[in-house]
Each structure stands twice: as structure tokens, then as C-alpha cells.
Amino acid sequence: MQAPAAAERNKGPILAVLREYAGSGAHGGPDVVRVLEVGAGAGLHAAYFAQALPQTLWQPSDVDPRALRSIAAYAEAMRVPNVLPPILLDVSQGWETWGGTQPATLDLLVSINMMHIAELRCTE
């Protein structure tokens, strides 16, 4: 598993903000909040947030296949049942290529430590 220091440092403050937005979800039923994390990187955040927010169904993704292995390892090591298997996702491509994930099925989209290093087209 990869262990980025920045993810470890900022997980608490980010969780505090996520708690404000991760109420009951509209698409997963009255008690489930469907979250797509774009650019999940190592997977520390996905596992940590899903564990702290059990009402979420967390879909981690990344454009790097190596990151997908680390994401899966974090979810397994932390025994987090509400983290879905990570998907390969390139946000510079249309949502139709997102492995079956459609915007209308999501309650929350999360992107941490990605936009400042991504091409401008990834933010559109």
C-alpha cells in the first residue's frame, strides 16, 4: 500500500467537511449516500472516510492502474465493507466511459489533491 504523508495529514479536516454533505442520499435509498471519489490515489482517504461515514457507499477511482491495487489493499486492510472495488476512470473523458457509473446515480463527487495537478480539461 502506498502511504502519502499529505493524505494522512489532511484526512481529519476533510472528514469534518464531508460530514456536512454526507447526509441521507437520494439515489442509494434513504440511508445511503453514493460517493464517487475521482483521483483516489493510494486509497487511504477512501477507506478512512468510508469507515467514518458508514452511511456512504464509496466508489474510489483513479486513472493509474497501480493506484487501483493500493486502493483495494487499503479497503481490505481496514475491512471497510462500504468501499466498492476501485475503477479505472479518466475524468478527461466523458462520463459514458466511467465503468457504468453515471452522474445521475451519485449523491456526492469527491476530488482531493487532484485538480491542482490535472489538465484544465479534467475540471470541466
* Res. 61: pLDDT tops 90: yes
| Overall average pLDDT of the 58-75 stretch | 94
List the 87-88 sheet strands across, edge first: 87-88, 56-62, 33-38, 108-111
Give the total number of structural domains in the chain: 1
- The CATH number given to whatever domain includes residue 17 is 3.40.50.150
Question: Is the whole-model pTM more than 0.85?
Answer: no
For all residues of the chain together, what is the average pLDDT?
Answer: 84
Q: In 23-64, where does DSSP find H-type helix?
A: 44-52
| Overall average pLDDT of the 70-82 stretch | 95
Compute the distance between CA of residue 25 and CA of residue 21 in angstroms, rounded to an integer: 10
**Domain housing 82:** 5-123
Q: Kindly provide the residue ranges of all beta strands, DSSP E only, lying in 24-107, ordered along the sequence.
A: 33-38, 56-62, 87-88
